[in-house]
Amino acid sequence: MNAQVAQVENAQMDAVAAAADLVARGRAAMAAYDNHDQARIDEAVTALAWSIYKPENAKALAELAVKDTGLGNVPSKITKNTRKTFGTLRDLMRVKTTGVIEELPEKGLVKYAKPVGVVAAVCPSTNPAATPVNKAMMALKGGNAVVIAPSPAGYATTARTVELMRAELAKGGHPPDLVQILPAPVSKELTQALMEACDLIACTGSQNNVRRAYSSGTVAIGVGAGNVPVIIDATADLDDAAEKICASKIFDNSTSCSSENSLVILDDIYDDALAALQRAGGYLADQGEKQKIVDTLWVNGKLNRHVIAKDADVFADVAGLGDAAAKAKYFIVEDDDIAAGQLSDEKLALVLTVYRAKDFDDAKAKVAEILEIKGKGHSCGIHTKDLEHARTLAEDLDVVRVLVNQAHTFGNGGGFNNGLNFTLSMGCGTWAGNSISDNLNYSHFINITHLVTTIPEDKPSEEELFGAYWQKYGK
What pLDDT is recorded for position 307?
94
CA nearest to 116, candidates 425, 436, 438, 443 = 443
Model's pTM, two decimal places?
A: 0.94
Residue-averaged pLDDT of the chain: 96
Which pLDDT band holds residue 407 (cuts at 50, 70, 90)?
A: very high
d(C-alpha 70, C-alpha 427), whole Å? 26
Give residues with Cβ within 8 angstroms of 278, minimum separation 6. Answer: 284, 332
The band of 10, judged by pLDDT with boundaries at 50, 70 and 90, is: low
Instruction: State how far the Cα of 222 lies from the Cα of 24, in Å rounded to an integer.
Output: 24
Interval 65-81: pLDDT, tens: 999 999 999 999 999 99
Exactly one of 198, 203, 246, 257 is catalytic; name it: 257
In sign, the C-alpha dihedral spanning 186, 192, 61, 161 is negative
Nearest-angstrom CA–CA distance, 109 and 454: 9
**What's the pLDDT score for residue 1?**
45
Which top CATH class is 228-419? alpha beta
Which pLDDT value is given to residue 341? 78
Residue 351 three-state SS:
strand
How far, in Å, are 108, 166, 437 from residue 452 at the CA level? 6, 39, 28
Note the pLDDT of residue 206.
85
Note if 198 is an active site residue.
Answer: no
Q: Where are the domains of the chain?
A: 2-223+440-451, 228-419
CATH of domain 2-223+440-451: 3.40.605.10
| pLDDT tens per residue across span 257-289 | 999 999 999 999 999 999 999 999 999 999 999
